[in-house]
Structure 1
Amino acid sequence: MFVFFSFFPLLPFKIKGLPVFVFACFAFFVFKKKEKKFDFIYLINSLLFILYIGSLFYSENIQLGLSLLETTLSLIIIPLIFTLYSGYKKTAKTILREEFTFKYIYIISSFILSILIFIISFQYGNYISTKIELSKFLSRLNTGFFWINEHPIYLSIYLSLSLLIIVSIFKNSKIKVLLLVIGLFQFFILLLLSRKGVIISFLISSILLFLITQKRKKTGLLFIMFFFLISSFFVFKFTPDTIKRFKEVFDIKSYNKVEKNSSTSVRYGVYNCALEKISESLMIGYGIGDVQNELQDCYKSKSKVLVSENLNSHNQYFGILLSVGVLGLIIFIIPLVINLKLFFIRKDYLAFSILLMFVMFMFFENILDRQSGVILFSFLFNFYTFKNYSLKNNE
């Protein structure tokens, strides 16, 4: 049943929900074969969605609110599926075997995705005589390539997860050379996509995972430096725009005025408005349907660029505060903290690193407001909760 999620990076945007549907069908079968009591503890991961429903009562734009609830439906469906699954006897050995299959197929899917991205990059330059025109290249990815239509941020998230899995299995793998080649290529594509927040989140999580699982710390650090330098060399050589995007962060001009061609400048403007609006309705927010209208009202007084782009808060925590206030944010964070602790105590360091990476992603993107992010997050979060909680109870 998990194998369908391993193809997630290659699925067209319109059918991203297919793995959830298949998973739900399997859960219905499990429900009919129920052998023991359900473990309702997994439903704690769905409390944010319940608060979103409640916020409709003080939202003015009900239609938009319902649309956003439909997008985030995985936040409650997937925990519910795992709750049903808990009523069917499944050995720890089988669970681990399914995870093993998921990991390797997901790496292959992400590798194919990185090849497709690499092929498209040749339409905007080449790697011998010219540079890659980064802005046009990224715009093309966003508007669609082959059968895929995905924002570069989510493409980067798919590759980051694959790389994290490679780091976790590398030590005990019999195909180290192949994994190294695949990893280097995917990391090159990740840098080529130049999503600053995703790259930073991945680097912190992967280095932490590598050092935790690596007995020879000095050797591990040298390997990480080699891996990073080789990939960075090719990106910086052929896409100087990537360097420019990182330099923006340290340029004081990025914080003086909103400039359309500066992602750092745009984010700074968005965050200013988000914080301003949060302070005006801190306790309960504005309701899931009214957040964008409130941001747009602020954008009108700040910048025409922000108004025309109609941007969300670009920070999941700000988005939750704007929707359901401080209570909502606390209720969202509590399961994250509980599970991070569970994964670490259980020594499931991959699960710990994946969740940590998503926690950091959310500082830079509203990944729960788009199918591509919310489905992947909800599945991984709840699967590893289920795995570790089940194994803990079976001991």
Structure 2
Amino acid sequence: MEIETNKKNVMLLKVAITLLFASIILPTNIKTIAVVFFACVVLSTISYTKFVFRKGYFLYSTLFFFVLILSSLYSDNKTYALRKVTSMSSLVIFPFLFSLLTKDIKSIVKSWKPLLLKVYIFSVFSFNILPFLYLWFTNYTFSEMIIHYATIVRVDFGKFGIHPIYLSMHTSLAILFSFFVILNTTSKRLMALILAIDIILISFLLLYAKKGPLIALCLILFLALFFKRRDKFFKPFLISIIVLVGLTIAVPKTRNKFIELFKMENVQDSTINSTNIRYGIYESAIDVISKAPLLGYGIGDYNDVLYEQYKVEGSKVLMEGRYNAHNQYLSFLIMGGLVVFVLFVFYLLLSIVLGIRFDNQLLILTIIFYGVVMFTENILERESGVLYFSLLTSYFSLFNSKE
């Protein structure tokens, strides 16, 4: 095999991709270094092999992003456009790097999946539990931690600070991945450890009380059960998911969040909460989109245009918050109109279709999870969202082939 010509590079590649799957525990500046390290190792590794490039995958997975870049041509705010393109660059970096892997290298990288899933699970678990324990022992009482932890993760984590919505997403995906780890191990100790971790991760999810990730998690877990409906663990996992749904309803903090959905009103006319704020944002976003439906306003001006709409409507709450669209699909419609929106949805749907064709369950479930959360968040416009969306979907897309 050609890969045997440089085993050292393969080992470095393993270290680099493992570091990326563990990068949630790294501060922001080190995350960037981890991506650069991975890129250097990939380029070094393929330099010893015959050049290949999966241009089909690269094209359909990045075309919407290249059109977004072109939208900067009709943006007035070029500085902001450059900043957003840079922050979203993971959308092209990971598809490009994974497209360069030869068949032999790809086969080896795919064999690391059990390790990478476990690394991600333990990293997310550590990032949840260790800061909680540290801050509890040093800064806050237990009751204060329970009540305010969703704010604490943003304010008191320093360079490790993260919005609770993104930490909820990581936690949800770790729970999903643990489902597959349990199904593919015979070690009772590992099963017991993963189940114990899941119980703690679910507790943190309820603590953050973020509706989007909770809804997406319940949906993908039911879909995962459907895929594994003939497995011996079907009944225990079904009971576990029903318990999760029951806890979401029973715990007052999460129950009240979901009750908001049935009392949704424009924030100008009602109580200020996350649901009503989003309702007001979506009304403004739809008004903006209707004025430039085909090409939008450009990646540099989309937030300015939305803010001006808040001014026109006289929404003091939305003006003071300078809120973005809080919906990735609406945001893309404002940035690049129907052209970008259609290309992006095409990428999501084609990924799912190919996942079904090759029985690539993790890709299907990961795409659906992110796709659901995108209805309430612009997750591809911040590093905490876009880096992991691109990394996970690019890696799982390697399994859209037969050896």
Whether these two folds match at TM > 0.5 is yes
The residue number in structure 1 matching 2:191 is 176
Tell whether the 8 Å contact from 1:315 to 1:365 is kept in structure 2 after alignment: yes
Q: Distance in 2 between matches of 1:138 and 1:212?
A: 33
Secondary structure of the equivalent of 1:257? helix
Deviations 1:53-78 (A, max 9, x none): 21111101111001101101111111
**Is the alpha carbon distance of 1:112 and 1:266 closer, same or farther for their aligned partners in structure 2, counting shifts above 3 Å?**
same
Tell whether the 8 Å contact from 2:248 to 2:254 is kept in structure 1 after alignment: no
**Is the alpha carbon distance of 1:258 and 1:200 closer, same or farther for their aligned partners in structure 2, counting shifts above 3 Å?**
farther
Q: Give the Å deviation of 1:178.
A: 1.4
Deviations 1:148-167 (A, max 9, x none): 11111111111111011011
The residue number in structure 2 matching 1:77 is 93
Tell whether the 8 Å contact from 1:260 to 1:305 is kept in structure 2 after alignment: no
Q: Distance in 1 between matches of 2:153 and 2:319?
A: 23
The residue number in structure 2 matching 1:53 is 69
**Is the alpha carbon distance of 1:112 and 1:218 closer, same or farther for their aligned partners in structure 2, counting shifts above 3 Å?**
closer
Q: Distance in 1 between matches of 2:45 and 2:145?
A: 51
Of 253, 257, 262, the match for 2:268: 257
Tell whether the 8 Å contact from 1:49 to 1:76 is kept in structure 2 after alignment: yes
Q: Give the Å deviation of 1:213.
A: 1.2
Deviations 1:102-131 (A, max 9, x none): 1111111011112035334685653xxx57
The residue number in structure 2 matching 1:381 is 393
**Is the alpha carbon distance of 1:146 and 1:322 closer, same or farther for their aligned partners in structure 2, counting shifts above 3 Å?**
closer
The residue number in structure 2 matching 1:279 is 290
Deviations 1:309-346 (A, max 9, x none): 11110010111110011011111111211111111221
Q: Give the Å deviation of 1:361.
A: 1.3
Secondary structure of the equivalent of 2:325? coil
Tell whether the 8 Å contact from 2:110 to 2:399 is kept in structure 1 after alignment: no
Instruction: After TM superposition, list the pairs within 5 Å mapping 1:344-363 onto structure 2.
Output: 344-363=356-375
Q: Give the Å deviation of 1:218.
A: 4.9
Instruction: After TM superposition, list the pairs within 5 Å mapping 1:142-161 onto structure 2.
Output: 142-145=154-157, 147-161=159-173
Secondary structure of the equivalent of 2:100? helix
The residue number in structure 1 matching 2:174 is 162
Secondary structure of the equivalent of 1:33? coil
Tell whether the 8 Å contact from 1:283 to 1:325 is kept in structure 2 after alignment: yes
The residue number in structure 2 matching 1:327 is 339
Tell whether the 8 Å contact from 1:340 to 1:352 is kept in structure 2 after alignment: yes
Q: Give the Å deviation of 1:190.
A: 1.0
Amino acid at match of 2:299: I
The residue number in structure 1 matching 2:118 is 104
**Is the alpha carbon distance of 1:163 and 1:264 closer, same or farther for their aligned partners in structure 2, counting shifts above 3 Å?**
same
The residue number in structure 2 matching 1:30 is 45
Tell whether the 8 Å contact from 2:303 to 2:324 is kept in structure 1 after alignment: yes
Secondary structure of the equivalent of 1:155? helix
2:210 aligned with 1:195, yes or no?
yes
Give the stretch that moved more between structures: 301-310 or 167-176.
Answer: 167-176
Tell whether the 8 Å contact from 1:351 to 1:384 is kept in structure 2 after alignment: yes
**Is the alpha carbon distance of 1:57 and 1:260 closer, same or farther for their aligned partners in structure 2, counting shifts above 3 Å?**
farther
Q: Distance in 1 between matches of 2:241 and 2:219?
A: 11
Deviations 1:213-240 (A, max 9, x none): 132655542232235546876xx2xxx4
**Is the alpha carbon distance of 1:209 and 1:138 closer, same or farther for their aligned partners in structure 2, counting shifts above 3 Å?**
same
Provide structure 2 residue ranges, at least 5 long, that are not aligned to the other structure.
1-12
Of 57, 61, 83, the match for 1:67: 83
Deviations 1:228-268 (A, max 9, x none): 546876xx2xxx4433222211125x446366740011111
Q: Distance in 1 between matches of 2:96 and 2:106?
A: 20
Secondary structure of the equivalent of 2:160? coil
**Is the alpha carbon distance of 1:170 and 1:89 closer, same or farther for their aligned partners in structure 2, counting shifts above 3 Å?**
closer
Amino acid at match of 1:296: Y
Q: Among all aligned residue pairs of Structure 1 and Structure 2, give the percentage whose two residues are the same amino acid.
A: 29
**Is the alpha carbon distance of 1:276 and 1:255 closer, same or farther for their aligned partners in structure 2, counting shifts above 3 Å?**
same
The residue number in structure 2 matching 1:210 is 225
Provide structure 1 residue ranges, at least 5 long, that are not aligned to the other structure.
none
Give the stretch that moved more between structures: 143-152 or 73-82.
Answer: 143-152
Tell whether the 8 Å contact from 2:120 to 2:174 is kept in structure 1 after alignment: yes
> TM-score, normalized by length of structure 1?
0.89
**Is the alpha carbon distance of 1:156 and 1:75 closer, same or farther for their aligned partners in structure 2, counting shifts above 3 Å?**
same
> TM-score, normalized by length of structure 2?
0.87
The residue number in structure 1 matching 2:5 is none
Of 336, 360, 377, the match for 2:348: 336
Q: Distance in 2 between matches of 1:133 and 1:230?
A: 16
Secondary structure of the equivalent of 1:247? helix
Secondary structure of the equivalent of 2:22? helix
What root-mean-square deviation, in Å, do the aligned CA atoms of Structure 1 and Structure 2 show? 2.2
Of 283, 286, 307, the match for 1:296: 307
User: Which stretches of structure 1, 4 residues or longer, exceed 6 Å deviation after superposition?
Assistant: none
Deviations 1:20-66 (A, max 9, x none): 21221012213422325322123221112211221111101111001
